Every structure is written in structure tokens, then in C-alpha cells.
A and B are shown apart, each in its own frame.
Chain A
Amino acid sequence: ETGVTQTPRHLVMGMTNKKSLKCEQHLGHNAMYWYKQSAKKPLELMFVYSLEERVENNSVPSRFSPECPNSSHLFLHLHTLQPEDSALYLCASSQALTAPTGELFFGEGSRLTVL
């Protein structure tokens, strides 16, 4: 148990659906992250939030829309996805964006399949 909880763990959706992934951290951290892990590719950073403000957006398509209503919760809203968006989506948190220790804590991930 890392203190970072992601729901749902598995999600199957059609290309016309709208769904959301949720991440919640119970560590009192101020920075949260979305990573994408596709088969045979390194983890890719998608979004970074620090104190509820987005500080990084790595050229992610607009069909992925993040939301950070407070420092404990992070959402990834999904709409009109493509089959190539099927992947494991990992949420992580850290004490701060520039914490001295720089340690990240990851959730278990949400396995997304787009049909």
C-alpha cells in the first residue's frame, strides 16, 4: 500500500465514450502526476500538478483532460479515445514538485482498453 489509490483498476470503453480515471493520495503531498505506460515503451509523463496548478503538459492530445480539484485528488477525463490509447495509466505523487528527496509514490494503475 503506497498511499496512492487509483480507480477504476480496469476500464473498457468505446471510442465515442466519455469516462474518467480517478487518483487519490493520502500522503499529504502537494504534487501529483499522470504517467502512461504502453506495451514495449518507457513510461511517459503526461501531466504534472503542483498545488493544484498544472505545471507540465507533455504534448498530450486534447482528448485527455486532467483535473486537480485539490491537492489530494487528480482526475483524467477521457473522450473520443483511439485504440492506440489503450495502456496502463499510472498516477503518482510527491511531497512537492521540488522536494529535496525527490521520491515519487505510485498507484496501482488503471488498465484502459479502447475498443
Chain B
Amino acid sequence: KQEVTQIPAALSVPEGENLVLNCSFTDSAIYNLQWFRQDPGKGLTSLLLIQSSQREQTSGRLNASLDKSSGRSTLYIAASQPGDSATYLCAVTYNAGNMLTFGGGTRLMVKP
């Protein structure tokens, strides 16, 4: 069974800190990996998409890396802000279809 795990489940940091969110997957034969953000009671917003042939993607203060051989991805957030507070979800596609397998998410709180 393909599983995606995110650790920690919750994280609280002071404003301005750089932080790393972790995602691991059991099957390294992935097609792509996506990071999403979800605000309370809202839908998901796609942050970064990494194809299996790529090692990392960057968007503003966000950088996502992918290491297929170790079954890991990290989302790096630089200079965190209170507005970054949300749940961050990692999702993996295992074939050319777009049926994602999601991790449980990391709930991030950035304190002013």
C-alpha cells in the first residue's frame, strides 16, 4: 500500500524563523509530488509541483526538494510570517494519472 507521511503533525515557530516541513513516501516510483496549503475550512491551494525528473522547485520564499531514492521531500519556508499559518499537505502521484495520495498534513502556526 502506497503511503505518504508528514512529520511533524503540528509545528509552532516565532515569526522570522526559517523552517522545514517533511514528507516521506513508501514507493519511490512516483510520477510527481505536490505541496498544497489549506487554510481552516477552505480548499487546497497548490504551492509547488515537482516532476519526478526534478530535484527542486522554488516560488518566492518557498523551496521544495525531492529525493526519490530516499523517498523524501522537504518544503523550506524562509523568513516565516504569521500569514504562513496554515496546514501544509504533501501529495504524490504514482502514475501518469492525476490521482493523488495525500499525507496527513503539518499544521503550522507562526507567532508574531
Residues of A within 8 A of B (CB): 2, 4, 6, 31, 33, 40-43, 45, 48, 55-56, 88, 90, 92, 94, 96-99, 101-109, 111
Contact = CB atoms under 8 A, between A and B. Distances in A.
Interface string B20-45: 00000000000110101000011111
A104 B100 contact: yes
8 contacts: A2-B45, A6-B43, A42-B101, A42-B103, A45-B101, A90-B43, A97-B98, A108-B42
A104 B34 contact: yes
B75 to A, nearest CB: 16
Interface stretch (B11-19, B60-68, B76-84, B89-97): B89-97
Interface centre among A42, A88, A108 (most CB of B within 10 A): A42
B111 to A, nearest CB: 24
Nearest to A95: B98
Given A94-B98, A97-B98, A102-B32, A108 B103 contact: no
A42 B43 contact: no
B34 A98 contact: no
Contacts, number: 68
A109 B98 contact: no
A31 B98 contact: yes
Nearest to A97: B97
Interface centre among A41, A97, A104 (most CB of B within 10 A): A104
Given A109-B42, A109-B43, 15 more contacts: A2-B43, A4-B43, A6-B43, A41-B104, A43-B89, A43-B100, A43-B102, A48-B97, A55-B97, A88-B41, A92-B44, A102-B34, A103-B49, A104-B98, A106-B44
Interface of B: 4, 31-32, 34, 36, 41-46, 49, 51, 89, 91, 93, 96-105
Contacts of A104: 34, 44, 46, 98, 100
Contacts of B96: 98
Contacts of B100: 43, 45, 104
Given A42-B4, A42-B104, A102 B93 contact: yes
